[in-house]
Amino acid sequence: MESHAVDLTETVSLPALSSVLPPLTIRGVQKFGEDVFVAMFVIALLQALVALIQYRTNPSGTLVVPPGLTFGIANNASNTSPLSSIESVDTTDMNFSSAIASLASEVSSGTEPDNSRIKLSRDPKILQKINKWLFLLIPWTMERLAFFWGRNTHVMHLAVILALNRFFDFPNRFWAAKEEAMTVNIAEADPISLGKPPEHIVVIGDSLAVGLGSVEEFTVAGNINDMDPETNEKASFRKMENNQTDSGPGPVFPRVLAESLSRQFEQPVRWRSAGVDGGDLKWVDELCFDVIEDEVNQKRVPDVVVILCGPNDLKYFVSNPFQAAGPKVFRARLLCLIKKIKEVAPNAKIVVPSFPTQMFHKKSPLNIFPLNFFLDSVIGFWDSQKKMVTDSLGDEIMYFEMNPAEIFEWHNFQDHKDPTLLAPDGVHPNAKCYDLWATSLGTKIATTLTEFSTTVR
C-alpha cells in the first residue's frame, strides 16, 4: 500500500488579513469606528434596560421614614476628631419642646423597623451575569448592524441627532438660550447673612437624603458585597433595634454634614432631613417642601438647605424618554423649588451638590462594559444641569462638584483598606461613602461661607 503525504498548506487556507479588517483608508477606519460605536451603544442600552429591571425602587411618592431620628443637634465645637456622637435632643434647651412635638410623627413609634420602606435587592444573580457578559455580543451586533447602518447612514444619523437633541438639549446649550423660567425673580439674601455660620440645616431630596443604603454590616473576612443580601438585611435591622449602628442614629449624610459644619464653625448645628423613596424633583417638591415650611413656622428658619436630586429624574427619563421630563423640565423644576424655598427663607443658603459618580465599585452591576463607557458622562451631564440653574442665580445658591481625584482617594487603595463605597444593591452609597461625601461637602460649604464673610467685612 502506498502512502501519500498530505500537504496541509494546500488544503487549509487562512483568510487574508484584509478580509477581516477594513481597508486602511480614512473611509474604512471611519466606517469601522461607526460600527463599533453603534454596536456598543446598542449593547449599553440593553444593559441599561436589564439594570432598570433589576433595580426598580418602591413606588414614587412614599415619604421615607428611616429607623432612628431624622433630626438632631451636632456639637463638635470642642472636638477635632472626624466624627462625633450626636447630642441627645434636649426638650428644655433652645425652645426644642415644640420641635419634639412636631417631629414626633417622623420617629418610628416602636422598636420594630418598617421593612417595607427600606429594602435590599434580591434580584437573581443570573441577571447580573447576563448583563456582565453582554459585551460578547458586540462583534455579532456589528456584523448585523453594519449592513443596515451602511445602507441607511443618513437616516441613522438623523435618528442619532434627534435622540441626542432630546437628551442633551443641544439647541439651548449651543446658543446659550435661557428658558423663560430662568428669568423669574428669586428673593435675594441679606449680604450680611451670607457669611453667617449656620445654626440649622435641612437636607431634602430622594432616598439619599435619608441614607438608604447606609444600614450595613461588615465582616472581617470580606466586604458587604460578598454577603447574602437577606442575611445582611436581618443583621442590619437587628443592630438598629438595639441602637448599635456604627455611626449613630438616623441617616448618615445630614448628621455628618452637621458635624462637619459644627466642627469648623465651633458651634452647635441642628439638622433635619426628609426624603422621597424613588422620587424625582416633582415628588420632592410636593412632599419635602412642607418640612421646610414646618421649620419656618416653628421659628427654626434653616440657614442652609441641601437639595439632593437628579438620579431618579434621569432614571425616569431614560426609562421613558418620550413621556418623562427632559433636561429642560428638570431645570425648571429645580428652579421652582429653589424659588419656593427662598420665599419662606430668604436668607437661606441653598446647596445643590453633584454626586460622586466615580464611586462605582468593581462588583457594581452598573460598572459593566460598555454601559460604563456611556454612563459616567450621562450622569455628569445631568449634574451639569444643576450648575446651569445655580449659575443663573445669586451667590447664596451654590453648586459643588465632586473632584474625581478626591473620590479616588476615598477608595484608599494605597493603604489596602476596604474600598467599598456602595451598598449591597450596587446603586446607593454605603455609610462610608455618605460619611466621606458629607464631610467633603461640609468643608466646601464652610470655605465658601468664610469667603463670603471676609468679603462682607
- Split at pLDDT 50, 70, 90, the class of 169 is low
Position 158 scores a pLDDT of: 64
Which residues are CB-neighbours of 69 under 8 A, at least 6 positions away?
A: 86, 89, 106, 107, 249, 250
pLDDT at 149 over 80: no
- Split at pLDDT 50, 70, 90, the class of 145 is low
pLDDT digits (tens, 9 = 90+) for 117-130: 333 344 446 666 77
Residue 214 vs residue 148, higher pLDDT: 214
For 440-454, what is the mean pLDDT? 86
Phi and psi for 224 in degrees, rounded to 5? Answer: -65, -25
- Split at pLDDT 50, 70, 90, the class of 409 is confident
Rounded alpha-carbon distances, angstroms, from residue 65 to 109, 207, 398 = 11, 10, 27
pLDDT at 250 over 70: no
Q: Which CATH number fits domain 59-120+184-456: 3.40.50.1110, 1.20.1440.130, 3.30.1330.200, 3.40.109.10?
A: 3.40.50.1110
Could you give the percent of the chain with pLDDT greater than 70? 50
pLDDT at 107 over 50: no
| Rounded distance between C-alpha atoms, residue 66 and residue 122, angstroms | 20
Average pLDDT value for the chain: 67
pLDDT digits (tens, 9 = 90+) for 56-100: 544 444 455 454 456 666 666 544 444 333 333 333 333 333 433
pLDDT digits (tens, 9 = 90+) for 348-404: 999 999 888 655 556 566 677 777 777 777 777 888 889 888 888 878 889 998 877
Position 189 scores a pLDDT of: 53
pLDDT at 305 over 80: yes
Phi and psi for 35 in degrees, rounded to 5? Answer: -65, -45
pLDDT at 202 over 80: yes
pLDDT at 417 over 80: no
- Split at pLDDT 50, 70, 90, the class of 55 is low
Return the C-alpha cell found at 66.
428611616
Task: Give the per-residue SS3 of the chain.
Answer: CCCCCCCHHHHCCCCCHHHHCCCCCHHHHHHHHHHHHHHHHHHHHHHHHHHHHHCCCCCCCEEECCCCCCEEEECCCCCCCCCCCCECCCCCCCCCHHHHHHHHHHCCCCCCCCCCCCCCCCCCHHHHHHHHCHHHHHHHHHHHHHHHHHHCHHHHHHHHHHHHHHHHCHHHHHCCCCCHHHHCCCCCCCHHHHCCCCCEEEEEECHHHHCCCCCCCCCCCCCHHHCCHHHHHHHHHHHHHCCCCCCCCCCHHHHHHHHHHHHHHCCCEEEEEEEEECCCHHHHHHHHHHHHHHHHHCCCCCCEEEEECCHHHHHHHHHCCCCCCCHHHHHHHHHHHHHHHHHHCCCCEEEEECCCHHHCCCCCCCCCCCHHHHHHHHHHHHHHHHHHHHHCCCCCEEEECCCHHHHHHHHCCCCCCCCCCECCCCCCECHHHHHHHHHHHHHHHHHHHHHHHHHHC
Domain ranges of the chain: 59-120+184-456
pLDDT at 282 over 80: yes
